[in-house]
């Protein structure tokens, strides 16, 4: 499915909006008595609040409870509009038009606009393996035993490395650096069949850490 918008804004602080492809509604608690404070202690410290920059469960859980999403899941696990009031589908499902609800606001009172949701979706598409698979063009060039090429997606062109081709089986890596000192490497493996390349991909996020012995 392709999302069509009129602009391509630069990624800003607003880009931490959770996306529709990862939408899960925040849990709600119903208590008979008056309001109470619920304290939650995760298994590890929350080192980043960016759901697109970490695979840690604590980051995912935090984003699900704090950030609004375009769609949420109801008690039957069926998607329901959350930030959007509705949508229309055209062109045999290839064009979706989403309409945001009125009076959506960021924490500082700034209105949430369509370009903010677009920036979040595009950021997700360049960082997440599932998002990268949604709109990707692979260009290959073979000279003898050497294979070079690029992958083109929402984030632009990225060169491939460690490409190997044998008996129609192709494997290669793509490393992207989105800033912040956290390179993301995706390993692609699959089979070439005519004009098609089908297989699987594995995303690896390299992060540094430091530990100290407890006394």
Check if the beta carbon of residue 73 is closer than 8 Å to that of residue 23: yes
Structure tokens at 125: 């598409």
* Residue 1 clears pLDDT 70, i.e. is over it: no
Decide if 211 is inside a domain: no
Express each pLDDT in 121-144 by its tens digit: 877 776 666 665 565 778 888 888
The answer to whether the predicted template modeling score (pTM) of the entire model surpasses 0.75 is no
What average pLDDT does the chain have?
A: 76
Nearest to 132 by CA among 21, 51, 24: 21
Q: What is the mean pLDDT of residues 178-204?
A: 78
Structure tokens at 145: 């035993």
Check if the beta carbon of residue 150 is closer than 8 Å to that of residue 160: yes
pLDDT at residue number 26: 46
pLDDT at residue number 182: 66
Quick one: pLDDT band at residue 167, thresholds 50, 70, 90? Answer: confident
Q: What is the dihedral of CA 106, 109, 115, 117, to 10 degrees?
A: 20
> Domain boundary residue among 62, 95, 127?
127
pLDDT at residue number 40: 78
Decide if 214 is inside a domain: no
DSSP label at residue 51: T
Question: 98: domain range?
Answer: 2-127
Q: What percentage of residues in the chain have a pLDDT greater than 90?
A: 16
Kindly state whether residues 65 and 144 are assigned to the same domain: no
Kindly state whether residues 97 and 51 are assigned to the same domain: yes
Q: What 3-state class would DSSP assign to 93? A: helix
State how far the Cα of 105 lies from the Cα of 86, in Å rounded to an integer: 18
Decide if 212 is inside a domain: no
């Amino acid at each position: 499915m392709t999302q069509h918008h009129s602009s391509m804004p630069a990624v800003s602080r607003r880009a931490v909006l959770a996306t529709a492809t990862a939408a899960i509604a925040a849990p709600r608690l119903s208590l008979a008595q008056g309001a109470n404070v619920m304290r939650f202690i995760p298994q590890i410290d929350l080192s980043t609040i960016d759901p697109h920059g970490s695979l840690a469960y604590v980051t995912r859980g935090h984003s699900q409870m704090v950030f609004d999403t375009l769609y949420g899941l109801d008690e039957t696990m069926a998607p329901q509009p959350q930030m959007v009031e509705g949508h229309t589908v055209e062109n045999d499902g290839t064009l979706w038009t989403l309409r945001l609800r009125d009076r959506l606001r960021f924490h500082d009172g700034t209105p949430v606009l369509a370009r903010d949701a677009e920036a979040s979706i595009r950021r997700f598409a360049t960082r997440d393996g599932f998002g990268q698979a949604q709109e990707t063009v692979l260009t290959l060039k073979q000279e003898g035993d050497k294979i070079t090429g690029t992958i083109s997606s929402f984030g632009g062109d990225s060169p491939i490395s460690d490409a190997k081709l044998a008996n129609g089986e192709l494997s290669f890596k793509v490393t992207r650096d989105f800033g912040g000192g956290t390179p993301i490497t995706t390993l692609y493996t699959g089979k070439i069949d005519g004009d098609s390349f089908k297989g699987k991909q594995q995303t690896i996020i390299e992060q540094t850490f430091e530990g100290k012995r407890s006394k």
